[in-house]
Amino acid sequence: MHEILEAVQKIGAKRLVIDSLAGFEMALAPGFRADFRESLYRMITALTGVGVTILSTVEVNESFTEFPFSTYSISFLTDDIIRLRYVCIDGQLRKIMVVIKMRGGNHSKDIREYEITSKGVVIMGDRLTDYQGLITGIPEHLNRSGNHEERVPKPKPKARSNPGKT
């Protein structure tokens, strides 16, 4: 941990990215791994104390019934939490995001679809209001009155006839 602080100070870094916390934990010496939360707390305190902004990613086990933020129970250490998730919408695997926490300020509570392009993260269209259960990963489409749409089977394609063959 001390080496990270020294390197940040040596190059005058103002931002540090840890991608991901799981990999970071594995790279630590066993003594630091024993109490990862405490080690992470000390590092974050030291780095933010010298004006460094930290961006970290945490991979969580996806479950369609839970909405965890981290396997480490460290959300108290963060100023902001943005949750990214895959969902199936209209037979397509799509990406959504929602701001969960923004310490010291109000934020949008909208669930928005996004794409990652060569220009960066692009928010797609308006907030997703036609679906319920987006954060579960298995959304249900709502009709205009706000009720669940009945699931009507799609018609099967008609067999094509081949003219000239009998």
The angle at the Cα of 7, spanning 1 to 71, to the nearest 5 degrees, equals: 40
**Confidence at residue 151, expressed as pLDDT on a 0 to 100 scale:** 43
Percent of the chain with pLDDT over 90: 25
Is the confidence at residue 11, as pLDDT, over 90?
yes
Query: What's the mean pLDDT in 82-97?
Result: 88
Query: What's the mean pLDDT in 55-80?
Result: 68
> What single letter denotes the amino acid at residue 41?
Y
pLDDT single digits (tens) 102-153: 888 888 889 999 999 999 999 998 888 888 888 777 788 887 554 555 443 4
Domain boundaries, the chain: 1-78, 79-144
**Confidence at residue 150, expressed as pLDDT on a 0 to 100 scale:** 44
Is the confidence at residue 84, as pLDDT, over 70?
yes
With bands split at pLDDT 50, 70 and 90, how would you rate the model's confidence at 83? Answer: confident
Percent of the chain with pLDDT over 70: 74
Q: At what angle do helices 2-11 and 36-49 cross, to 10 degrees?
A: 20
With bands split at pLDDT 50, 70 and 90, how would you rate the model's confidence at 33? Answer: low
Whole-angstrom CA distances from 119 to 43, 95, 122 are: 32, 17, 8
Q: Are 137 and 98 in contact (CB under 8 A)?
A: no
Look over the chain and give the mean of its residue pLDDT values, rounded to a whole number.
78
Q: Which residue has the higher pLDDT, 62 or 156?
A: 62
Which CATH architecture best describes the domain 1-78? 3-Layer(aba) Sandwich (3.40)
Is the confidence at residue 155, as pLDDT, over 50?
no
Is the confidence at residue 4, as pLDDT, over 60?
yes
